[in-house]
Structure 1
Amino acid sequence: MNKKQIFINTVKVTLAAIMAILVAKALKLEFAVSAGIVAILSVQPTKKETLKTALSRFLAFAIALVISGILFNLLGFTVYVFFIYLAIFILICQWCGWISSMAMDSVLISHFLSLGKTGFLEIKNEALLFVVGVGFGIFVNLFLHKKTDYIEELKNQTDEKIKLVLHRMSLRILNPDFADYDGTCFDSLNQSLFTAKKQAEENFNNQFTSRDTFDTRYLAMRENQTKVLYEMFKSVRQIKTVPGTAQMVADFLEKVSVEYHKDNDVQDLLAGLKEIRSKMKIVPLPENRDEFEDRANLFTLLERLQEFLEIKSNFLKNN
C-alpha cells in the first residue's frame, strides 16, 4: 500500500471513530467512547469484507447478550462470572468462525459489570453502541472506491514487462552470446502480475452491486500468456547459432513487442505469423546438425508464439 493510500485510510478510520463517538454522546449513551472502538474494529480492507464481518458480529453480539444475561442474573455481576462468560463465548465464536467478534462484543458486554444490571435500558445502550459503531464502519467503506487509475497503471506495467521479454527474445535469436539471458526478467514479470491480480481482487470486493470482472479476467489472460512466454524463452535459450531463418523470426518478435497493447486484437499479427511460417517452409534445408536443431527450436518458438497470440485473440472475442 502506498503512502497516499495509508494517509487516506488513516483519515477515514479516524473520522469513523470520531463520528461514532459524537453520535453516541448525542444519544446520551453510556460508554460512548466504545462506539468509536467498535467503528475502528468494523473497518475491513474491502466493502464486502466489512459487510460480512458486520453480519457475523451482529449474530455473535446477540448470542453474547443471551449468555451474559443468563449468567449475570443467575450468578451475579462479578468478574468471575465474566470469566465464565468469556470461556463460553470464545468457544462459540471459535466454533462458528467469528474470531473477530470475540474482543469487540466482549468489550460491550463488560459494561454490564459497571452497570450492575441487564435490563431493557442497559441492553438498549449496548445495542445502540454496537449499531452506531458498526454503522460508521460500513459508512467509511462506502467511500473505498475501485482504484481504477492504479489498476490501469499496474496492468500497463505488466504489459511493458511482457514487451521487454519479447524484445530481449528478438535480440537473443540474433546473438547466441547475448548477456544475462537467464530468465530473471520473469521474476519481475510474475511479481507485477501478482500485485495487479491482488489489486483487481480488492477492486472487485469493493463493489456492492456492480460485478465487473474484466480486470480479473484480463490479468488471468496475461498470466496464461506469461506461461507460454516462458516456454518460448526456453526454446530461444537453446539456440546456439544464427540460422538463415533467424532474422525474419527476430524481426517479427520485435514487431509483436512494439504492437503489444491491450486493445490490439492481434489478427494482423496472426496473419503475419502465418506468412512467416509459409516462408520458412521454402527455405533450403539446413546444412549441418546445429542449424537443423536451431531451426527446429525456431519452429517450436513460432508454435508457442501462435498460442501466445491466440490467447489474446480468444479473450477479446469473448469480451
Structure 2
Amino acid sequence: MKIGLRTVKTAVAAPVALLLATGLNLESAASAAIITILTVTNTKRSTAKTALNRLFSLTLATAIAAVCFSLLGFHPLAFGLYLLLFIPLSIRFDLTEGIAVSSVLITHYLAASEISVSLIINEYLLMIIGVGCALTANLYMPDTEKKIQEDQMVVEVSMKKMLSQMSTYLNQPAKEELLRQECLSLRDFVRDAQIQAREYEENHFFSGNSYYFEYFAMRRLQLNVLSDMLKILNRLNAESEDVQELRELFEFTARTLAEENDGSDILTKIAETDQRYQQKKLPESREAFEERAMLFQLFQLFQDFIEIKAGFNRNK
C-alpha cells in the first residue's frame, strides 16, 4: 500500500485543525477538520483558490440562509429553499467547490434555531482554521523541476531515435508499424510529463512561467504529426532514389533535434528538397503517381512537424 504526500499532509493538518477549533471552544469543532480534508489539493495554487472560494461561498450561503430562515423560520422547508437558491448562484459565480462545505455549516444555524453574530463568527472561524491548516500543509512541496528536465531529455532522445529509425526503415512497412507503437507510447509519456509540469507551475504562487507545460504541449503536437507520418510510411513503397532525400532529411533532423534548435535550418532543407521534387518529371504509371503523392504528403507533414517547434521557439 502506497501512502502519498497529500495523504500524509491531510493526516497531519486535519487533527491540528480539530485541536485549534477545540482549543478555541468552537461549536462543532470537528467541522474544521473536515474542511481541511476537503481543501488539501495537489498544488499550492489550487489549494489557495479552493480556500478563497470556500470563504466567499460561506458569505453567500450565510446571506441566503438569513433570508430563508427569516421568512420560513428554522424549518427543513427553509433549508430546502436555501439550497434552491444557493446551488444555482454558486454555479453562476463559480463557487461550486464550496456548496457542500458551506451547506454543512449552514445546518448549524438550523440546529441552533438562530443566526446570531456569535454563531456566524463561529462558522467563519471553523472555515478559516480549516482552510488555513490546508494552506499551511501545502507550503511544502517537493521540487520536481529536475525530474521534469530529465523527462525532457527522455523525450528528445526518444524522438531522435525514432527519426533515425524512420530513415533506416523507409520502404519497410512492417517495421514502420512497430515505430508507430513506440510513438503512441511516447505520446502517453509526454502527456504525463505535461501534467507534472502543470503541477510544478501551480506550486509557484507568483510565477507565471509556463515554459515546461508549453514545451510538452509542443512535443505532443509533434508526436501527433509524427504518428500521421508513420501511417503514410507504413504504406509507402517508393523507388529508392525517390526516398533518398527524405531519408537524408530524417537523418539530419535526428542529429540536430534539440530543445534550443528553432528548426530554421531544417525548414530550409525541406523547402529545397520539395522544390527539387516538384521539378522532377511526372510519373507515368498510376502506382508511381500515388507513391509520389504520398511523398508530397509526407513533406507537408514533416514541414508541419518542424514548424510546430519553430513556432514554440518564437513564442517562448
TM bin (shorter chain): 0.7 to 0.9
Change (3 A) 1:99 1:296: closer
Instruction: Identify the residue that residue 84 of structure 1 maps to in structure 2.
Output: 77
Match of 2:184 among 162, 183, 187: 187
Q: What is the 5 A alignment of 1:279-298?
A: 290=287, 293-298=290-295
> Which whole-Å CA distance do the structure 2 matches of 1:178 and 1:62 have between them?
63
Shift of 1:145: 6.4
Question: Which AA in structure 1 matches 2:233?
Answer: V
- Which ranges in structure 2 are unaligned for 5 or more consecutive residues? none
Q: What is the 5 A alignment of 1:164-243?
A: 164-176=161-173, 178=175, 180=177, 183-243=180-240
Q: Write out per-residue CA displacement over residues 248-305 of structure 1, whole angstroms, 9 at most, x where no aligned residue.
A: 4324313422432322233444455466567768989879665565455334433432
Q: State whether structure 2 residue 136 is matched by structure 1 residue 139.
A: yes
Match of 1:36 among 33, 38, 41: 33
Question: Which AA in structure 2 matches 1:224?
Answer: L
> Which whole-Å CA distance do the structure 1 matches of 2:79 and 2:56 have between them?
16
Q: Secondary structure at the match of 2:169?
A: helix
> Which whole-Å CA distance do the structure 1 matches of 2:86 and 2:228 have between them?
49
Q: State whether structure 2 residue 100 is matched by structure 1 residue 107.
A: no
Q: Is the 8 A contact 1:145 1:203 kept in 2?
A: no
> Which whole-Å CA distance do the structure 2 matches of 1:177 and 1:299 have between them?
21
Instruction: Identify the residue that residue 318 of structure 1 maps to in structure 2.
Output: 315
Change (3 A) 1:17 1:245: same
Q: Write out per-residue CA displacement over residues 33-78 of structure 1, whole angstroms, 9 at most, x where no aligned residue.
A: 221111112223444433333333223323443455566678776x
Shift of 1:8: 0.8
Identity %: 33
Moved more, 112-121 or 12-21: 112-121
Change (3 A) 1:92 1:162: farther
Instruction: Identify the residue that residue 19 of structure 1 maps to in structure 2.
Output: 16
Shift of 1:133: 0.9
Question: Which AA in structure 1 matches 2:38?
Answer: L
Question: Which AA in structure 2 matches 1:57?
Answer: R
TM-score by length of 1: 0.77
Question: Which AA in structure 1 matches 2:87?
Answer: Q
> Which whole-Å CA distance do the structure 2 matches of 1:194 and 1:235 have between them?
24
Question: Which AA in structure 2 matches 1:262?
Answer: E
- Which ranges in structure 1 are unaligned for 5 or more consecutive residues? none
Instruction: Identify the residue that residue 117 of structure 2 maps to in structure 1.
Output: 120
Q: Is the 8 A contact 1:67 1:85 kept in 2?
A: no
> Which whole-Å CA distance do the structure 2 matches of 1:232 and 1:68 have between them?
60
Change (3 A) 1:13 1:262: same
Q: What is the 5 A alignment of 1:294-309?
A: 294-309=291-306
Q: Is the 8 A contact 1:39 1:134 kept in 2?
A: yes
Q: Write out per-residue CA displacement over residues 150-170 of structure 1, whole angstroms, 9 at most, x where no aligned residue.
A: 433444444445335423422
Moved more, 278-287 or 41-50: 278-287
> Which whole-Å CA distance do the structure 2 matches of 1:132 and 1:61 have between them?
14
Change (3 A) 1:249 1:102: closer
Instruction: Identify the residue that residue 130 of structure 1 maps to in structure 2.
Output: 127
Q: Is the 8 A contact 1:35 1:133 kept in 2?
A: yes
> Which whole-Å CA distance do the structure 2 matches of 1:33 and 1:196 have between them?
38
Change (3 A) 1:314 1:65: closer
Moved more, 129-138 or 103-112: 103-112
Change (3 A) 1:94 1:112: closer
Change (3 A) 1:245 1:24: same
